Structure 1
C-alpha cells in the first residue's frame, strides 16, 4: 500500500473506534509531617543533589544512619520537617528547618532547606512546601528564618524565597569548592509573626 493510500485508510477509521490518547494525570500531592519511614526517599532526593549539583556543598552522599539521626534530632526539638507525598505514596520533596546555631541566644532563629525530586521540579511544589514550612514555623513560635543558598545554579531558589518575603542580607564569596570551582553563598532572611510563644527548651541540646 502506498503511503498516501495508508494515510487515507487511517483517516477512514470511524471516530468512535480511534484510539484516544490517555489524558495526563494532574499533579497532586499532600504535604504532611515527615515520618521515619520517609527517610529512604528523602535520602535519595538529597543524594541526587550531592552528586549532581552545587546546590548543596556536601560532597559525600548521606547514609540512612545520618538521616535517621537528623530526623531524631529535629523531632526532639519539635522543629518542622515536612514532606510532599504523591497519591501513590512516593515522597516528591521535603522541607525542614534546623537551628541556626547551637548557642542558646539563637533559639528563635532557624535555617531552612528544601529539596524536590526530579519528577516534581517546575510544578509549583517548591513554593507550596516553603509556604507550609513558614506557617509551621510561625505555629512553633519561631521568629526568623535564614536561607543560605549557593550563588551558582540556584537562581530559582533565590527567586522563590524572594517571592515569599525573604530579603537578601549578605553574601560570602569563594567559601566553598566543589566540582573544581569556587562557590559563594547568598544569605536571605524572613521575619515571622509567631502565633504562640516558643517552648522554653527549644533548640536545647
Structure 2
C-alpha cells in the first residue's frame, strides 16, 4: 500500500472531490451506467442516504490529496437481503496502481464484517474493467456471473460482471 495513504470516513467537505471524480466516470467511462453526471447537491443527498442507513462511506487521501472513495450500500431492498451489501470503489486516474483501491476495499470489507453483514457483492460495469476485477479477486471475491449486453453506454452494449465474497462466516451460520 502507498506510503502516506489515509483512509477515513467521508464528510460533507469531501463531496466536491467525490462529485468531480464520479462525473468523469459518468462522462468518460463505463464503470457506471449512469448517463448524466449528478450535480453536487444530488451526490450529497446520495451520500447522506447511505451514511444515514449506517453503511460505511470512505475516502482515501494520498499525501493529503483526495485519491478516491468507496462505500457499501444495500444490495437489494427486500428484507431477505439485509445481510448483503454491494461495494462501490472509484480511484482518481493519477492514483491508480498504488494500492489505494485495495486499501479502500479492504477497509470496507472489514467495516461491513464488523457491522454483521455476511456477503459483499461487486457489480462491475463491463468485462473490460480488468483492474476492478483483479482488485476484487485479490481480496477474495469470485466471479459468480456475467450478464451479457445488460447495459448500453457510449454507443455499445456492455456486459456486467457479478462478483461475491463472504464476510465473516458468510452463509455458514445464522446471522446475529
* 1:177 lines up with 2:152 in the alignment: yes
What does 1:120-159 align with in structure 2 at a 5 Å threshold?
120-159=95-134
TM-score by length of 1: 0.78
Pick one of 39, 43, 48 that aligns with 2:24. 48
Instruction: Give 1:69's aligned residue.
Output: 45
Instruction: Give 1:29's aligned residue.
Output: 5
TM-score by length of 2: 0.91
SS in 1 for 2:58: strand
Instruction: Give 1:19's aligned residue.
Output: none
CA contact (8 A) 2:7 2:60 kept: yes
Q: CA RMSD in A?
A: 1.8
Q: Which of the two has greater strand per residue?
A: 2
Instruction: Give 1:115's aligned residue.
Output: 90
SS in 2 for 1:102: coil
Measured in 2, the distance between the counterparts of 1:76 and 1:168 equals 30
CA contact (8 A) 1:55 1:153 kept: no
Measured in 1, the distance between the counterparts of 2:63 and 2:175 equals 34
Structure 2: tracts of 5 or more residues without a match: none
User: 1:152: Cα distance to partner?
Assistant: 3.8
SS in 1 for 2:77: coil
Pick one of 71, 74, 78 that aligns with 1:96. 71
Number of equivalences: 171
User: 1:173: Cα distance to partner?
Assistant: 0.7
